[in-house]
Amino acid sequence: MNRIDALFSSLKLEHRPALMPFITAGDPDLATTKALIEEMVVRGADMIEVGIPYSDPIADGPVIAASYTRALRKGLKQAEILKTIRSIRDEAGSGPLSRTPMVAMLSYSIIHRQGVESFLKRAVEAGFDGVIVPDLPVEESEDLAGLAAGLNVKLIQLITPTTPRDRALAIAKSTTGFIYYVSVSGLTGERQSLPPDLADNVSWLRTQTDLPVCIGFGISSPDQIRELSPVADGLIVGSALVRRLADAEGKPREAVVDDIGRFVADLSAALR
């Protein structure tokens, strides 16, 4: 069974949503990325979303876009990212990391350049369980979805507050693993408050599909986690983590990893 399916089956029995931190691969370096993934799982993360840096982010706000730029300026190669993920899986043994899903978020241009089947096979070999491709319209996703299904890779697609409901249903039908519901219109980034109709929109979507519905964009605090946990199957926290990494530039890796770990632990505690 794909790790994503196994996770949501397990959490359904626990009656709680998944905590899904996002980090940018290679920011500030891949050794830190590896240490952060391992620490976040220890501190309560249920799934890890790994951003694969690319030069023209589609939906990413300034915090995440800057992290991509930092990583690319250092000459980061995709092969090195896959090797790092593989090393995490190899060293996990039978511990929690062996069961923790990891999902890659990346531009379709990266996949297309390598060849869809070739990329997916390499992603599976590295240990990824799913892909999020924000710039791939649902109308053009059939080939990728078919090849991904054959390799037991989930194709997670996005639905936004401005997506018409008939289109949202079409996206849901072509999605596997879980639906990524974008909480706010616009770019990623921390928000002090979330839209008042967010809960209603997600509740409606959950009546239309058997897939888990996970909320991302703008979630940045334990209070927001507590607010949304009754209506979501998963909660994605990205910019708040990436900003902490940027603010910690120059600090020892151990201190940075511990700081991120404590923040993830606070978010995890809010779910329980």
In 174-259, which ranges are E strands? 179-182, 213-216, 234-237
Location of structure tokens 């990728």 = 144
Q: Do 114 and 63 touch, CB atoms closer than 8 A?
A: no
* Separation CA 166–CA 238 (nearest Å): 28
3-state helix, strand, coil in the chain (%, to 5): 50, 15, 35
- Could you say which of 39, 49, 129, 233 is catalytic? 49
Q: Which residues, 6+ apart, have CB-to-CB distance to 151 below 8 Å?
A: 120, 121, 124
- Could you say which of 60, 129, 190, 233 is catalytic? 60
Residue 80 annotated among the catalytic residues of the structure? no
Q: Which residues, 6+ apart, have CB-to-CB distance to 261 below 8 Å?
A: 39, 40, 42, 43
Amino acid occupying residue 197:
D
* Separation CA 46–CA 233 (nearest Å): 12
- What's the CA angle centered on 116, arms 67 and 120, to 5 degrees? 70
Residue 60 annotated among the catalytic residues of the structure? yes
Residues carrying an active site annotation: 49, 60
